[in-house]
Chain A
Amino acid sequence: EVQLVESGGGLVQPGGSLRLSCATSGFTLSSKSMNWVRLAPGKGLEWVAYISRDSSTTFYADSVKGRFTISRDNAKNSLHLQMNSLRDEDTAVYYCAREGIAVSTFDSWGQGTLVTVS
């Protein structure tokens, strides 16, 4: 069974930093591209960041470019999101999401970790 478990969320002041992690199991992480997607209060889902299977390619939403960094450790079955210069509008539940068979769909998601910037 595929499992994605996020951790690292919490309360942080504006301008602060936080590092999210996603522990994966039930599949070979190195065979899948991965993403972070967030859900802000009162808003819809927003794709945040993408990383290819071998970490050679990363993409970011314009709203986080230059502040967030996605990374992965295939040997440790983990995905990370380093978030710097946090803003009020980054408050959201952050989900790690596995890329589906169709590129840029998301076929498995974690339960999310809450980040509150205040």
Chain B
Amino acid sequence: EIVLTQSPATLSVSPGERATLSCRASQSFSRNLAWYQQKPGQGPRLLISATSTRATGIPARFSGSGSGTEFTLTINSLQSEDFALYYCQQYDDWPPTFGQGTKVEIK
């Protein structure tokens, strides 16, 4: 199965700044990568699929990019509601697998 490694584990960012989250795959694949946001006590929320396609209702400050084994989630101008846990997930191979998560915290 494809192993996803997210870095950093914790990212400290000031409101209004940009956050860049990394997701590295153990083997190369096409664009079948998704990103999720999770807040305490809630289930994850789909942000992005197909590497860069925002889900319905997701603000434009969230963007995804990458290919091969390196993928990135960028959050521009961080808002208070963006401080949360973020997971990447590949669905190119079976079974679908997730990274360990990156926590974005207030600096």
Q: Which residues of A contact B (CB under 8 A)?
A: 4, 43-47, 59, 61, 95, 97, 100-112
Q: Are B100 and A44 in contact (CB under 8 A)?
A: yes
A105 partner, pick from B41, B89, B94, B95, beta carbons under 8 A: B89
The residue on A at minimum CB distance from B33 is A105
Asked whether any CB of chain A lies closer than 8 Å to the CB of B43, the reply is yes
Q: Are B46 and A45 in contact (CB under 8 A)?
A: no
In the assembled complex, 7 residue pairs joining A and B whose CB atoms fall closer than 8 Å, in A order, are A44-B87, A44-B98, A46-B98, A47-B95, A95-B43, A104-B94, A106-B36
Interface residues on B, range: 20 to 34
CA distance A24 to B98 in the complex (A): 24
B contact residues around A110 at 8 Å (CB)? 43
Q: Which residues of B contact A (CB under 8 A)?
A: 32, 34, 36, 41-46, 49-50, 55, 87, 89, 91, 94-101
A106 partner, pick from B41, B46, B50, B97, beta carbons under 8 A: B46
Give the A-B pair count, Cβ closer than 8 A. Answer: 59
- Given contact pairs A44-B87, A105-B34, A110-B43, A100 touches B49 in the complex (Cβ within 8 A): yes
The residue on B at minimum CB distance from A111 is B43
Looking at chain B's contact residues, the main secondary structure is: loop
Q: Are B46 and A100 in contact (CB under 8 A)?
A: yes
- Given contact pairs A110-B43, A111-B42, A102 touches B100 in the complex (Cβ within 8 A): no
CA distance A105 to B43 in the complex (A): 14
CA distance A111 to B101 in the complex (A): 18
CA distance A107 to B99 in the complex (A): 17
The distance from the CB of B62 to the nearest CB of chain A, in whole angstroms, is 15
**Besides the known contacts A102-B49, A105-B34, A111-B43, 10 further A-B residue pairs in the complex with CB atoms under 8 A apart:** A44-B100, A47-B97, A47-B98, A95-B43, A97-B43, A100-B49, A106-B34, A108-B46, A109-B45, A111-B41
Q: Are B46 and A105 in contact (CB under 8 A)?
A: yes
CA distance A21 to B101 in the complex (A): 26
Q: Are B49 and A44 in contact (CB under 8 A)?
A: no
